Structure 1
Amino acid sequence: MNTVRGIRRTGRLGGTLLAAALAAGALTVSAAPAAHAAASDLVAKLPISSFSALTVDSAHQRVYVADSNMGSSSNTGLIAVYDFSGVRLSTITTQRHVSGLALNADGSVLHAGGRETILRYDTTTYQALPAGAASTDTCGRSLAFAGGKVHHTVSSYITYLSDCDTSLTYLDHSRPDNTWQRSGWQDYGRLQLEAGPGDRLMMGQPANSKAANPFLAVFDASGETLVRTAARRFADGEGKGALDFKDMAFSPDGTAVAVADATAGTRLLNTADLSDAATGYPALPAGAAASAVAFSGDGKYLARGASAQGATPDLLLSPADPEDATPALEFAFEGSLDGDRVAPRGLEWSADGSRLFAVTTNTAGSQYWLHVVQPPAVQYDARFTGGLTHSPAGAVAGEALAVRGRLELDGPAPAEPLKVTATRTDAGGTRELGTATVRADGTFTVLDEPDLVGEATYTVSFLGDLTHRPATDVTRTVSVGRAGSAITLTAPAEASKSAGVHITGTFTARGAALPERAVLTVERTDRLGTGTLSSVTVAADGTFTIDDLPRTRRDTTYTVGWPGDDLHDGTTASATVRVTA
């Protein structure tokens, strides 16, 4: 079952899983409570056993998924057609295997990579149109529509499918006169294409044994010939840091490129020269390897797909602006109802950003699912109300302190408890205190144990989520004092000079543990005056003893003291003994 949560949140999208057979496609719906305002997730089981391409027709609200079926040159291919609700509308069968998909500018024609041709279909009737000319391909094509032309890759002829990963691959494009033109750009492996705004075309090279340092390149596709405007290989002088390419995407304005690198995670690059952006995206969760990436058409979100096990997120929806620290919405795909991971190149958005389409697969790569994810359409305000309070009122170093507050949310209540983060700033600097859960009534408690005497300022933050905007931080300054200490003495009421005085005692110190056992001073006051006796060291259990031979009769007072330290106040205690002969 799929799990959806915000960063550092656990739990599932909804408590009920509704399974329904809709039209020609089986659809499972993970249903959230009515008050839930986060993303919804529809899941359709795909009728394919392999996956080659996903493309979205926003003009007609259609989603196309291609089954490459590359096992034999005589295999048929399949393109499954869905609407934006995850209902399968049609299935297009091809005589030979089918690979890449691309739509023309107005969405009227679907182009598909066939073995000998570029197949074309009317997107209203799904009827076949005259095919476009192309050189025979044996490994599966990548397609992209840029500069008014369909660009496609073609592999050199291979005998065994296992050789496709290192086959020499060419970049061609279809011409208006139904011929194909070789661009002259070529390299080894299953080269991938991506179109972008401003007649841009991007090409990425997966790692293979003939490409130890794979490349990424951007082209201007506006003219008859492709003009490369930027290129980059990522390995350093020692061969480290090479690109482990899985997917790529242009930002809606074309100024940035996101790359799914299975080793490095999500790379954010400047389109102009493919240099690293000044601010990148946070790392994927530990154990997740990047597999796909896509910007929403409205520029609000970035979707990052991953291959991860168990409850580790496989899909993260984050703000597209890397400076925006709003926590991501996370999905963990965990089995037969959802798949186990996001397939490479398995993410596409609708043009308006209202829906994300994600193809997931099982661990074996033999089954596939189509997820239709709807991010929340509206973000609501959040605020801290009433300031912060703390208890106990007299905070001391080394003892528990509770800082309490309240977070007020506009809009529907969240399906899962939200978190606030807290820091403490004192003379030692700023320390992160982790997160605290916000209860249903909006209250929260941050627990801490201050370790320095003086002023400590607590700052509580709510970073927001995809439903709520961040709240303005709230602070409270607390005066932290020294912890108390105490000495108790047990002494006889009367003792003799000859037998001596035997006193027992206990020393306790609140707050932080002492770095060493306390050493106590001992003074004796009698009718002859006051003198200092040998000091005593407190045992591990806090006990100590004092033995003394009095020097005179009558009342003798023993005073035991500890001077304190940076974190503890000092203390004294006295006992008076009547001394006889």
Structure 2
Amino acid sequence: MKSAHRTGRLAATVLAAALAGTGLTVAVAPAAHAAASDVVAKLPITSYSALVVDDVHQRVYVADAQTSSTYNRGTIAVYTFDGERVTTITTPQYISGLALSADAGTLYAGGMEYILKVDTTTYVVDYERSASFDNCGRSMAFSGGQLYYTTPYAAYTPNCDTTAYSNLDSLAGRTNWQDYGKLQLKSGPGDRMLMGQPPNANAANPFVAVFDTSGGTLVRNAARRFAAADGTGALNLKDMAFSADGSKVGVADAAHGHRLLNTSDLSDAAEGYQALPSGATASAVGFSGDGRYVARGSSATGSTPDLLVQPADPTDATAPLEFVYEGSLDGDRVAPRGIEWSADGSRLFTVTTNAAGTQYWLHVVQPPAVQYDVRLSETFTHSPAQAVAGEPLSVRGRLEYDGPAPAEPLKVKATRTDANGTHDLGTFPVKADGSYTVLDEPDLLGDATYTVSYLGDLTHRPATDVTHTVSVGKAPTSIALTAPAEASLSTGVEITGTFTAQGKALPDRAVLKVERTDRLGTGTLSSVTVAADGTFTINDIPRTRRETTYKVTWPGDDLHTSSTASATVYVTR
């Protein structure tokens, strides 16, 4: 089991407890920790239809779809904002959509043949009106003082995805808006409503459209289909949501990630969100009611995050909170349309599911309300004192932060800039005492400037970048000789040696120059090539008696210094 966590950031020590009678599993951060906490409730459903948040009564409603059989009963599970189950509402027929009235007094539920209404204080279920038969699953939204709901129908449920009867109705009657497939609805601020079309065989280029609901009659404003002329780029809609002020639309597109659009014309926003981690597929999106955050849900496996919670402003580089869900206590991925926020942004409600789509969990995430300052010291040290090309270099600095200690180390990001440009070195953890070490292996002579950044997270603000410049020199080389003290003209001289080069490996074996100096003068002997293990041997027949000196030299190269060694032998007859 891998519990919900923030990879490399704000990860809380997890406490799991079963609350008797509620079927609730809780994971909470320590009280002294300012990071987000994640409460997890196992839902009593085997399929998922809708998630609705009631801010007035602080309740969360989750509906089971169960459209696989007309004999299935309906289930609406009701939870508090703290994740405790209040009750489970059972209806005679399955429920495939939910919407809340503007005053939060009535919860509307889309039944197979009826629109039901639930009193949000007593949970008494009543019939609002009969509706067109639904065996595919309704989508519902309350907007402009009116309830809107789809009425998809297919003779056989396998044909639901391509049905042509996805008519859009309201309590006032049929609207005459329709298209192929199971159309999705989402209400937003300012009497706006979104209609989106999942891909299907009869809609190769699905759409998203914005409707004005203020006048009691739907007026379509901006609309967009996404495919290019060659058919590429088509939308694979999983979820959609308005930003808190209604100026933007977020779209969870399983083919292209999380799109951010301008509500006015559904064009791409000037700045979009960063791509999801590799292996993650967008499944849900939602903006907090206070305008601070966006939650981006995905389907991912392993240690790849399934949920990112980050600033709603895409130009804010604050690193997101990352949640990884995998296992029987968390679910494996965020379900499509599985994200809703409380109006004040204090809680994020997320529905996760297992890989088979047969089990579901409700997560209650509380983003931190406080951000603290972080400072990077401009005082650095590095070792070795003389950096050389091709050898490890450690650059050490310090970080200071306000507020409580994080449950997991903070991380700094580092780059190196040299004559060949800027190189990303990755991230490095900050120890409990605030120290950190950037590890590198510079491969170019000259100045290397290291820039250290702290990008911030939802608890800590970004810090001002700091830099440290290191002069990178050539790596040293050395030659060691072993020679006899005495030799004769008849037997000759044999000298062995070892050549050592630090730093980056030589492209070819070193070739050494050998000079001999005796009482007759100085001359150059044949060069010797160093073996793969760095050893070499010099054999010579001296030309005269007395002291003879052998000098061995390597000239160096672009990244290594030169080196020289000498040995003197006394030559006899």
Using structure 2 for the length normalisation, give the TM-score.
0.95
CA displacement 1:34-70 (0-9 Å, x = unmatched): 3322111112222222211111111221111112222
Indicate conservation of the 8 Å contact 2:6/2:324, yes or no.
no
Residues of 2 paired with 1:422 and 1:544: CA distance?
Answer: 42
Residues of 2 paired with 1:276 and 1:48: CA distance?
Answer: 37
SS at match of 2:387: coil
Residues of 2 paired with 1:46 and 1:503: CA distance?
Answer: 82
Counterpart code for 2:413: T
1:573 aligns with 2:565: yes
Counterpart code for 1:308: A
Alpha-carbon spacing, 1:315–1:416, altered in 2? closer, same or farther (3 Å): same
Counterpart code for 1:578: Y
Q: CA deviation at 1:386?
A: 5.7
Indicate conservation of the 8 Å contact 2:389/2:441, yes or no.
yes
Report how many residues are paired: 573
Indicate conservation of the 8 Å contact 1:557/1:576, yes or no.
yes
Pick one of 391, 405, 408 that aligns with 1:413: 405
Indicate conservation of the 8 Å contact 1:397/1:482, yes or no.
yes
SS at match of 2:122: coil
Match of 1:452 in 2: 444
Indicate conservation of the 8 Å contact 1:494/1:579, yes or no.
yes
Counterpart code for 1:161: T
1:160 aligns with 2:159: no
Q: CA deviation at 1:532?
A: 2.0
Pick one of 119, 122, 144 that aligns with 1:122: 119
Alignment of 1:116-515 (within 5 A): 116-128=113-125, 131-132=128-129, 134-156=131-153, 158-175=154-171, 179-180=172-173, 182-385=174-377, 387-515=379-507
SS at match of 1:458: strand
Q: CA deviation at 1:371?
A: 1.2
SS at match of 1:188: coil
Match of 1:16 in 2: 15
Indicate conservation of the 8 Å contact 2:396/2:438, yes or no.
yes
SS at match of 2:160: helix
Residues of 2 paired with 1:35 and 1:392: CA distance?
Answer: 40
Consecutive unaligned residues in structure 1, runs of 5 or more: none
Q: CA deviation at 1:311?
A: 3.2
Alpha-carbon spacing, 1:361–1:5, altered in 2? closer, same or farther (3 Å): closer
Indicate conservation of the 8 Å contact 1:7/1:328, yes or no.
no
Indicate conservation of the 8 Å contact 2:378/2:466, yes or no.
no
SS at match of 1:100: strand
Match of 1:37 in 2: 34
Residues of 2 paired with 1:4 and 1:448: CA distance?
Answer: 32
Q: CA deviation at 1:150?
A: 1.4
Counterpart code for 1:454: G
Match of 1:88 in 2: 85
CA displacement 1:489-530 (0-9 Å, x = unmatched): 222223333333222221111111111111111122222322
Q: CA deviation at 1:130?
A: 5.9
Q: CA deviation at 1:482?
A: 1.2
Q: Alignment identity in percent?
A: 69
Indicate conservation of the 8 Å contact 1:3/1:13, yes or no.
no
Match of 1:563 in 2: 555
Consecutive unaligned residues in structure 2, runs of 5 or more: none
1:4 aligns with 2:15: no
SS at match of 1:162: helix
1:521 aligns with 2:518: no
Moved more, 381-390 or 555-564: 381-390
SS at match of 2:20: strand
Indicate conservation of the 8 Å contact 1:109/1:121, yes or no.
yes
Residues of 2 paired with 1:210 and 1:478: CA distance?
Answer: 62
Indicate conservation of the 8 Å contact 1:387/1:475, yes or no.
no
Counterpart code for 1:168: A
Pick one of 45, 49, 54 that aligns with 2:46: 49
Indicate conservation of the 8 Å contact 2:384/2:394, yes or no.
yes
CA displacement 1:392-417 (0-9 Å, x = unmatched): 21211122211111221211111122
Moved more, 353-362 or 127-136: 127-136
Q: CA deviation at 1:283?
A: 2.2
Residues of 2 paired with 1:164 and 1:384: CA distance?
Answer: 57
Pick one of 61, 64, 77 that aligns with 2:58: 61
Residues of 1 paired with 2:317 and 2:76: CA distance?
Answer: 39
Q: CA deviation at 1:373?
A: 0.9
Residues of 2 paired with 1:199 and 1:240: CA distance?
Answer: 33
CA displacement 1:238-291 (0-9 Å, x = unmatched): 322221111111111212111111222212222222222232222222322221
Residues of 1 paired with 2:5 and 2:447: CA distance?
Answer: 37
Alpha-carbon spacing, 1:2–1:301, altered in 2? closer, same or farther (3 Å): farther
1:530 aligns with 2:522: yes
Indicate conservation of the 8 Å contact 2:300/2:306, yes or no.
yes
Residues of 2 paired with 1:539 and 1:370: CA distance?
Answer: 66
Indicate conservation of the 8 Å contact 1:4/1:329, yes or no.
no
Q: CA deviation at 1:217?
A: 1.4
Residues of 2 paired with 1:21 and 1:382: CA distance?
Answer: 42
Indicate conservation of the 8 Å contact 1:133/1:174, yes or no.
no
Q: CA deviation at 1:8?
A: 4.3
CA displacement 1:217-242 (0-9 Å, x = unmatched): 12222234322222222222332222
Residues of 2 paired with 1:310 and 1:510: CA distance?
Answer: 40
CA displacement 1:71-99 (0-9 Å, x = unmatched): 33343322222211112223333232222
Residues of 1 paired with 2:75 and 2:446: CA distance?
Answer: 71
Counterpart code for 1:4: A
Q: CA deviation at 1:579?
A: 2.6
Alpha-carbon spacing, 1:247–1:538, altered in 2? closer, same or farther (3 Å): same
Residues of 1 paired with 2:78 and 2:333: CA distance?
Answer: 22
Using structure 1 for the length normalisation, give the TM-score.
0.94
Moved more, 286-295 or 353-362: 286-295
Counterpart code for 1:441: D
SS at match of 1:187: coil
Residues of 1 paired with 2:423 and 2:24: CA distance?
Answer: 48
> What's the C-alpha RMSD, in Å, of the aligned pairs?
2.0
Indicate conservation of the 8 Å contact 1:379/1:469, yes or no.
yes
